[in-house]
Structure 1
Amino acid sequence: MLDGAMRRLIDPPLDRLGRALAARGVTADAVTLAGLVLGLAAACLIALGWPGIALGPLLASRLADGLDGAVARATRKTDFGGYLDIVSDFLFYGAVPLGFVVLDPAANGAAGAFLLTSFYINGATFLGFAILAERRGMETRARGVKSLYFTGGILEGTETIVFFVALCLWPYWFAPLAWGFGVLCFVTALSRVLLARKVFPPG
C-alpha cells in the first residue's frame, strides 16, 4: 500500500548512489547477493536470540535490495538480475519468520507456520499475476521500474519491513503480531485473486 509513495521518496538518492557504485564497477547482481547474505545473517542472529542486533543487517539488506535496481538502471538491466532479485527477496522474507520460530518453537511455532503460509499464498498470487501480465504485455511503473509487473495490496514490501522491525524490537510479541499480519496477507492475496478475475476474466 505504501510502496508507491516510498519509491518516489527513496528512488532519487538510491539512483545517485547506484550510479556511483556502477562507476566503481559494482554489479547489480553483486549488490543483490550482498543483500541476501545480510538478510540471512539477520535471520541467524534472530534465531540465536539477538533480534535487536539483527536490526542492523536486516535494514542494510533492504538498502541493498533497493540499490541493486539503481545499479542496474545505471548500467544494464538483465532478466537474470530480476530473477535473482525476486528469489533473494522470497528467501529473505521466509528466513526472518523462521528465525523467530527457531528462537522459541513452543511460543512461535504455530503463529510462524501461519505467517509463512500467508507469505506463500501471497507470493503465489503476486507471481501468478505477474506472469499473466507479462503474457499480455501489461506494464506499470507505479512502484518503480521493475523486472516484473507489481500489483498493489494492503501489504507490500514497505509494510513487511516495518513489521520485521517491530518483531525485532518486541520479539515477545511475535505470535500476536504474526497472526495479525498473516490475516492481512491472506486479505491481500484474496484482493489480488479478485483483481485477476477482473483483469483476466474466465471464458
Structure 2
Amino acid sequence: MLDTHARKFVQPSIDTTASWLLKKGKTPDQITITALFVGVSSSIAYLLGQPLLAVFLLWFSGFLDAVDGTMARRTKTSPFGTVMDITFDRVVELSIIFAIAIVYPEVMWPLLLLTGAIVISMTIFLVVGTVSEKAGMKSFYYQAGLAERTEGFLLFSVMMLFPNILFWTTLVFFAVELFTGVQRFWEARRILH
C-alpha cells in the first residue's frame, strides 16, 4: 500500500541516485546484486547482535531495490533483471526470517506461518503478473495490496528492534500477509474472468 501511494514522496531521492549511478556507468543489474548483498548483510548484522545496523542495512537494501528499477526504466528493462529483482527480494526477506529464528527459536512457529503467508501472497502476485494482459511502469502487471515491500520492512524493523513483542508482531505480519494474499486472489478473480 505504501509503495503504491507514498512512493511519490521518496521518488526524487530515488531519481537522483539512479541518475548518479547511471552517470557512473553502473547498470541496474549491478545495483540489484548490491541490494542483495546489503540485504543479506542485514541478517548477518542481526545475528551478530547489531539490530540497529541490521535495520539500517535492510532499509538501504530496499532503497537500492527501488533505485535499480528506476535505472532499468531509464535504460532498457531486462526480463532476467526482473527475475533477479523479485528473487533477490525474497532471499533478503528469508534471510531476515532465518536470522530472527536463530536468535529467537521460541517464535519458530509464528515465523513459519509468516513464511507460508509470504509464499502464498507472492505466488498469487507473480502468477497474476504473468497471466495478466495489463501492464504498468514495471515489466509485468504490479498487483498492489495491503502489504507491499515497505510494510514488510516496517514490520521486520519492529520485529528486530523490539524482541519483547516479537511473537505478536510476527502474528500481525502473518495476518497482514495473509490478508494481502486473499486481497490479491479476489482481485485476480475479478480481472482475469
* Same fold per superposition (TM over 0.5): yes
Alpha-carbon distance, 1:48 to partner: 3.2
Cα contact 2:147–2:176 (8 A) shared by 1: yes
Tell me if 1:122 matches 2:114: no
Cα contact 1:15–1:67 (8 A) shared by 2: yes
Cα contact 1:14–1:70 (8 A) shared by 2: yes
Tell me if 1:188 matches 2:180: yes
Cα contact 2:100–2:160 (8 A) shared by 1: no
With normalisation by structure 1, the TM-score equals 0.89
Alpha-carbon distance, 1:154 to partner: 1.4
Aligned CA RMSD, in angstroms, stands at: 1.4
Alpha-carbon distance, 1:21 to partner: 0.9
Alpha-carbon distance, 1:103 to partner: 0.8
Residues 149-181 of structure 1 show CA distances to partners (whole Å, capped at 9, x for unaligned) of: 111111111111111121222123221101111
Unaligned runs of 5+ in 1: none
Return the match for 1:156 from 123, 144, 148: 148
The size of the alignment, in residue pairs, is 193
Cα contact 1:39–1:61 (8 A) shared by 2: yes
Tell me if 1:39 matches 2:35: no
After TM superposition, list the pairs within 5 Å mapping 1:1-203 onto structure 2: 1-105=1-105, 107-133=106-132, 137-140=133-136, 145-201=137-193
Amino acid in structure 2 at the alignment position of 1:127: L
With normalisation by structure 2, the TM-score equals 0.93
Cα contact 1:100–1:174 (8 A) shared by 2: no
Quick check: 56-65 or 5-14, which moved more?
5-14
Q: Provide the C-alpha distance between the structure 2 equivalents of 1:50 and 1:130, rounded to a whole number of angstroms.
A: 37
Q: Provide the C-alpha distance between the structure 2 equivalents of 1:71 and 1:20, rounded to a whole number of angstroms.
A: 10
Q: Provide the C-alpha distance between the structure 1 equivalents of 2:156 and 2:53, rounded to a whole number of angstroms.
A: 13
Unaligned runs of 5+ in 2: none
Cα contact 1:22–1:74 (8 A) shared by 2: no
Share of identical aligned residues, percent? 26
